[in-house]
Structure 1
Amino acid sequence: MAASPFGYRLAHAIGLSGAAWLSGNIAALSLISVPALAETQRETSAPQGLIVKLWRKVYDKGKAQNPPVAAATATAFLYLAWSVRAGGPLFRHSQYSLTGLYTTAAILTLSIVPYTIVTMRPTNNALIRLAQTPEDLTSAGVKESSTLLNRWVFLNGIRSLLPLVGGMLGVTAALL
């Protein structure tokens, strides 16, 4: 890769590290942050309403942070796809379509946004509604919030796989 133009190498660095970081950032919410909130509630008997409010803070930080990273990462992958397209400046014959691999990497990475909107919105909205409750939750609200948080952990865990697979496709294309 040392003979490749600087912009191409920079796009690799941004695309590959961005996809890995994004996947890890999203996965950490499902593997560490939200389970730690639930564990804290069980160990300290903290009100479930507080746990849901804390989830909302975590959610808001991820909502502000992750889409721009996904956009920058996808842009880097799309630049790579453009660079290696047939007739492009870095085209070389390969058994596999490098353009297709980079384009798919971009689509998978950016797909965290529609996945969130289509798949996670009902769970997110229900948790946000519970987080806006001014006092502690009723017993029905406690049960509902616990179920919703478990569902959110699962759905978000799946969401973390999208940029991971995108990054793996980017690595594959870079190595071919």
Structure 2
Amino acid sequence: MPFLSTPLTLSATGGILGSAWISGSVAALSICAIPAILQTGAPTEGLLRGWHLQFTRGMYYVPTTGAFIALNYLYLAYRHRGEGLEWRGYALGALSNLLLAPFTLLFIGAINSRMIAASSGARKPLGQEAARQLITKWGNLNAVRIFMPLAGAALGLWNLLQ
């Protein structure tokens, strides 16, 4: 590992840990929260309320944290490139964290909209089976998102150790 100033080392460590933390948070939703919601035996309204609660909490911190980590990685890439050091891992780490947003919009956005509308009464209520299927599908697609910030952590660590 080449000599790095303490601020750059701390910045890289923060980015790596932040990416890993987001990955773990996303994983917890698909591995723990969604199965727990589905196993409650709650009526449709209860299922949607449980999903909406965890969705809202994640919505507040995952995109913001992912963007902050991406900016951190871009700063590291800029500084490393300027010093003639390996920088591509940080740039790719930034991209992998930013991919959460377009993936969500493209593949999960319609499910989010449908369940939010159903839970708020803005749309025809969902049946029990339809709600369970949407929540299950959401959990499965969310599980794919685990690997985006996880790749960011791996790429950041790889770059740090270069």
Question: Could you state the TM-score of these two structures normalised by the residue count of structure 1?
Answer: 0.85
2:47–2:131 Cα contact (<8 Å) kept: no
* Residue 8 of structure 2 is aligned to residue 12 of structure 1: no
Task: Provide the identity percentage.
Answer: 29
Q: Deviations over 1:142-170 (max 9, x none)?
A: 11111101110011000121000111111
Deviation at 1:48, TM superposition (A): 2.1
| 2:108 corresponding residue in structure 1 | 120
**Larger RCO: 1 or 2 (CA < 8 Å, sep 6+):** 2
Among 47, 52, 59, the alignment partner of 2:48 is 52
| 2:30 corresponding residue in structure 1 | 30
* Residue 158 of structure 2 is aligned to residue 162 of structure 1: no
What is the alpha-carbon distance in structure 2 between the residues aligned to residue 50 and residue 169 of structure 1? 40
* Residue 47 of structure 2 is aligned to residue 61 of structure 1: no
RMSD: 1.7
1:81–1:102 Cα contact (<8 Å) kept: yes
What is the alpha-carbon distance in structure 1 between the residues aligned to residue 129 and residue 120 of structure 2? 16
Please state whether the residue corresponding to 1:4 is helix, strand or coil.
coil
| 2:98 corresponding residue in structure 1 | 110
Moved more, 60-69 or 2-11: 2-11
Please state whether the residue corresponding to 1:40 is helix, strand or coil.
coil
Q: Deviations over 1:42-70 (max 9, x none)?
A: xxxx2121111111011011011111110
Deviation at 1:3, TM superposition (A): 4.3
* Structure 1 portions without partners, runs of 5+: 93-97
| 2:88 corresponding residue in structure 1 | 100
Deviation at 1:133, TM superposition (A): 3.3
What is the alpha-carbon distance in structure 2 between the residues aligned to residue 7 and residue 69 of structure 1? 19
Q: Deviations over 1:115-163 (max 9, x none)?
A: 11111111111111221239xx5xx611111110111001100012100
1:38–1:51 Cα contact (<8 Å) kept: yes
For 2:4, give the aligned amino acid: S
Larger Rg: 1
Structure 1 segments of 4+ aligned residues over 6 angstroms from their partners: none
Among 69, 75, 78, the alignment partner of 1:73 is 69
